[in-house]
Chain A
């Protein structure tokens, strides 16, 4: 027999040693851990610039808004996270309501105007995105486009529009609708949506579905379109954007949030990171990078390709009013989740 016990033992020993060394390779003790629900490429740009400037290494845990938000709540005081970044506000509200955020210092908050952060100062806006109706320009015209997000509930829209109900983005839009219109109207809108909308997994997939002519439009955020236009245009050749404006729920501007966990063992570095993200240098990443999200820093200009945020006529919603748990429960009840 070619195999000997000593050889088998050696193989096993190597395996165990590799496992042990991998544990140390995976765990970074000296830096900070960012629980990230923002686009990974965007956060990676922030991290690279931050680490270059300060020498503080950053470990990333990637997930979606509410997955990570709920995860932090369950982890409670034992959370390994130092910083939490989201795409939308509801997950920030969730963690804040559990009392897990460290109040932020005034000099950091002052970098962002008050409309882009909650009054209590427990977290801050880091970026913003606008709801849009991405539509097939070969099929819809100014006359036939929906005037309001409410129109999409009309039976005439059955099977004609798409969304990604499983995503935090869309759930934030529903939370905004709930905050603006109350539970009764939200329930009936969601019921109509279950009838009318074609569900996709992810906003990009929904937009690609519009481009292929599978549906006439999709209720998504703006930057997917700009990203694809700047890139290969392979998912947007036939697609254009329609802004609802008029304080319509479909004109909702969602604030991406950042916060520092009260349980963080590296609070100083964590605060430095968040301060960097909201600083001029951090916000410039939004203007010059490939994310096409709106910056929220005081006096920061957006990428020139974007419609200025002031022209979007977004409805006024205090981010702490966004109740995502209720929105998800209503969507579950409507059979969308």
Chain B
């Protein structure tokens, strides 16, 4: 290995300082929303906090939120595990096709799911409507990791259990299920946080959560203390969820100990009627949106294709998505590089800052930026820059994950070799690691871009004058119950999101193979 030898002779380490500084700057930006909530609590004073937080309405919202999570999450978990087991470990016909169809609902934004259900079964609303549509819109977040985990399990453990006389059901419950714990915890956290943050779905299902109540307050009194303090409670809930997941995740060992590669797992024989489950799920989560959307597109005819508004909305959405994706990917690079090249305590803290902010509900990020810009940074108020900053904060983790994985695969020796050949350190990183990480960067940038293209709450609150995205136009029409006019926008959002699904699915495949 000539590269390895190069590094033996005269090791010049890439100085970390510029990357640390850059990463600290991004991390400080990430702390803005949290700082804002703390500031609101202090600034309002105890009396206002008591008046605005300890009131029956907040109690109702808490009950709503907990009930929603407690009912939706178990259903989503059981459904996803059953579907993943059927598609990965049983003799289900056309298993590959079904496994693609079980991820496809992610291409339909949650508020388009609820819009479709409004048209398909207009009397469905309130709590059970919210539960149903939440499960259908978000279960793929659980299905994906569980299926990926099932695929990589070493069947030896199951064989051992079977040789000890365990029946199939017991093997599933006592051997397979425990090994899915991390995947289930991670997926459930993702779904749980989405439920905290989701706005459009619950408005259409007429179910009040903190996110809808905050926007209600925002529309009644702008960024008054009531809205901001509800935001504070929402952030507390958010940390509570992170904590619960941390405890549930445990610290058991899951890696296999045997040498060599694991054998491909055997598939269990299932009766033909087990096709019903994936079929019903696909009908509800894909069939209903396709049917409702198709119906409105037909009913609307050509009249709803108002190109003079659809064109600019598509253009602005693409511009925002591309600019935001480029910016977010650049901002994520220092932290991604540090996490691979210089892991350590400081790096872990910085990385945690990057992650937490992306999980915060968009409504919190938007509230913080509205208040901050209007009070102390007025030139930035209502500008594209602020909107892009909001997107950056919301989607930073998406960029970080992909970048980190691809930087890890770029050998550090190349950076050193480039430096020993006389390149200055940053240029050395740029011409070696950056270059090798480019495909990964492109993939994660695409994920960010698609997230931005479907973002609703933050865009509604922060968009500069005259800015209309596909999501906000769609929302304006559905708020007026003009479902037909909204249909072209929904269709465009779905079309834009399809690559996201393919990417996610391929990424999950790649991880389970490695």
Complex contact A70–B323 (CB within 8 A): no
Q: Is B439 an interface residue (CB 8 A)?
A: yes
Complex contact A67–B220 (CB within 8 A): yes
Question: How far is A217 from B203 in the complex, measured between Cα atoms in Å?
Answer: 20
Q: Is B320 an interface residue (CB 8 A)?
A: yes
Can you give 14 contacting A-B residue pairs, CB < 8 Å? A3-B442, A7-B438, A16-B326, A59-B465, A66-B221, A66-B222, A67-B219, A166-B220, A199-B206, A199-B208, A332-B57, A332-B226, A335-B55, A335-B56
Quick one: which of A224-240 are within 8 Å of B by CB?
Answer: 235
Q: Is B480 an interface residue (CB 8 A)?
A: yes
Q: Which residue of the partner chain, among B55, B383, B430, B476, contacts A62 with CB atoms under 8 Å?
A: B476
Complex contact B431–A5 (CB within 8 A): yes
A-chain residues with CB within 8 Å of residue B235 when the two chains form the complex: none
B-chain residues with CB within 8 Å of residue A18 when the two chains form the complex: 319, 322-323
Question: How far is A337 from B327 in the complex, measured between Cα atoms in Å?
Answer: 37
Q: Is B374 an interface residue (CB 8 A)?
A: yes
Q: Is B217 an interface residue (CB 8 A)?
A: yes
Contacts A25-B316, A78-B378, A201-B203 given; 15 further ones with Cβ under 8 A?
A: A1-B435, A3-B439, A5-B434, A8-B434, A11-B442, A18-B323, A22-B323, A23-B383, A40-B476, A59-B465, A61-B465, A71-B222, A167-B219, A336-B57, A337-B220
B-chain residues with CB within 8 Å of residue A62 when the two chains form the complex: 476
Quick one: which of B299-328 are within 8 Å of A by CB?
Answer: 316, 319-320, 322-323, 325-327
- Chain A residue at minimum C-beta to C-beta distance from B468: A62
- Contact A212-B122, Cβ < 8 Å, known A3-B442, A74-B374, A205-B481: yes
Complex contact B466–A28 (CB within 8 A): yes
B-chain residues with CB within 8 Å of residue A199 when the two chains form the complex: 206, 208
B210 to chain A, nearest CB (A): 13
Question: How far is A208 from B99 in the complex, measured between Cα atoms in Å?
Answer: 38
**1/0 contact trace for A1-35 toward B, CB 8 Å?**
11111011001100110110111011110000100
Interface residues of A (CB under 8 A from B): 1-5, 7-8, 11-12, 15-16, 18-19, 21-23, 25-28, 33, 39-40, 59-64, 66-67, 69-71, 74-75, 78, 80, 166-168, 171, 199-202, 204-205, 208, 212, 214, 235, 325, 328, 332-333, 335-337
**1/0 contact trace for B84-103 toward A, CB 8 Å?**
00000000000000000000
Question: How far is A168 from B466 in the complex, measured between Cα atoms in Å?
Answer: 22
A-chain residues with CB within 8 Å of residue B319 when the two chains form the complex: 18-19, 21-22, 25
B-chain residues with CB within 8 Å of residue A166 when the two chains form the complex: 216, 219-220
A334 to chain B, nearest CB (A): 9
- Contact A64-B203, Cβ < 8 Å, known A16-B323, A335-B55: no
Question: How far is A317 from B206 in the complex, measured between Cα atoms in Å?
Answer: 33
A-chain residues with CB within 8 Å of residue B220 when the two chains form the complex: 64, 66-67, 166, 168, 171, 328, 337
Complex contact A66–B206 (CB within 8 A): no
Complex contact A337–B466 (CB within 8 A): no
In this complex, the member of A26, A69, A78, A333 whose beta carbon has the largest number of chain B beta carbons within 10 angstroms is A26
B-chain residues with CB within 8 Å of residue A80 when the two chains form the complex: 382, 465
Question: How far is A208 from B465 in the complex, measured between Cα atoms in Å?
Answer: 31
Nearest 10 interchain pairs by C-beta:
A70-B222, A19-B323, A15-B326, A3-B438, A166-B216, A22-B319, A335-B57, A59-B466, A67-B219, A61-B465
**1/0 contact trace for B413-445 toward A, CB 8 Å?**
000000000000000001100111011011000
Q: Chain B interface residue count: which class? A: 35 or more
B432 to chain A, nearest CB (A): 9
Complex contact A204–B480 (CB within 8 A): yes
B-chain residues with CB within 8 Å of residue A26 when the two chains form the complex: 316, 384, 464-467
Q: Is B156 an interface residue (CB 8 A)?
A: no
Complex contact A1–B436 (CB within 8 A): yes
B-chain residues with CB within 8 Å of residue A71 when the two chains form the complex: 222, 374
A239 to chain B, nearest CB (A): 13
A-chain residues with CB within 8 Å of residue B326 when the two chains form the complex: 11-12, 15-16, 19
Q: Is B115 an interface residue (CB 8 A)?
A: no
Complex contact B320–A337 (CB within 8 A): no
Question: How far is A294 from B206 in the complex, measured between Cα atoms in Å?
Answer: 30
Q: Which residue of the partner chain, among A4, A22, A40, A61, contacts B435 with CB atoms under 8 Å?
A: A4
Q: Is B159 an interface residue (CB 8 A)?
A: no
A-chain residues with CB within 8 Å of residue B442 when the two chains form the complex: 3, 11
Q: Is B166 an interface residue (CB 8 A)?
A: no
Complex contact A337–B206 (CB within 8 A): no
B76 to chain A, nearest CB (A): 25
Q: Is B479 an interface residue (CB 8 A)?
A: yes
Q: Is B381 an interface residue (CB 8 A)?
A: yes
Question: How far is A194 from B224 in the complex, measured between Cα atoms in Å?
Answer: 22
Question: How far is A132 from B126 in the complex, measured between Cα atoms in Å?
Answer: 25
Complex contact B374–A75 (CB within 8 A): yes
B-chain residues with CB within 8 Å of residue A60 when the two chains form the complex: 465-466
A-chain residues with CB within 8 Å of residue B122 when the two chains form the complex: 208, 212
Q: Which residue of the partner chain, among B206, B316, B435, contacts A200 with CB atoms under 8 Å?
A: B206
Q: Is B43 an interface residue (CB 8 A)?
A: no
- Chain A residue at minimum C-beta to C-beta distance from B325: A15
B-chain residues with CB within 8 Å of residue A19 when the two chains form the complex: 319, 322-323, 326-327, 384, 388
B-chain residues with CB within 8 Å of residue A336 when the two chains form the complex: 57
Question: How far is A27 from B466 in the complex, measured between Cα atoms in Å?
Answer: 8
Q: Is B218 an interface residue (CB 8 A)?
A: yes
A-chain residues with CB within 8 Å of residue B327 when the two chains form the complex: 15, 19
Question: How far is A333 from B58 in the complex, measured between Cα atoms in Å?
Answer: 11
- Chain A residue at minimum C-beta to C-beta distance from B435: A5
Question: How far is A18 from B323 in the complex, measured between Cα atoms in Å?
Answer: 7
In this complex, the member of A66, A200, A212 whose beta carbon has the largest number of chain B beta carbons within 10 angstroms is A66
Q: Is B2 an interface residue (CB 8 A)?
A: no
- Chain B residue at minimum C-beta to C-beta distance from A33: B465
B-chain residues with CB within 8 Å of residue A208 when the two chains form the complex: 122, 481
B-chain residues with CB within 8 Å of residue A15 when the two chains form the complex: 322-323, 325-327
A24 to chain B, nearest CB (A): 10
B437 to chain A, nearest CB (A): 9
B-chain residues with CB within 8 Å of residue A63 when the two chains form the complex: 219
B381 to chain A, nearest CB (A): 7
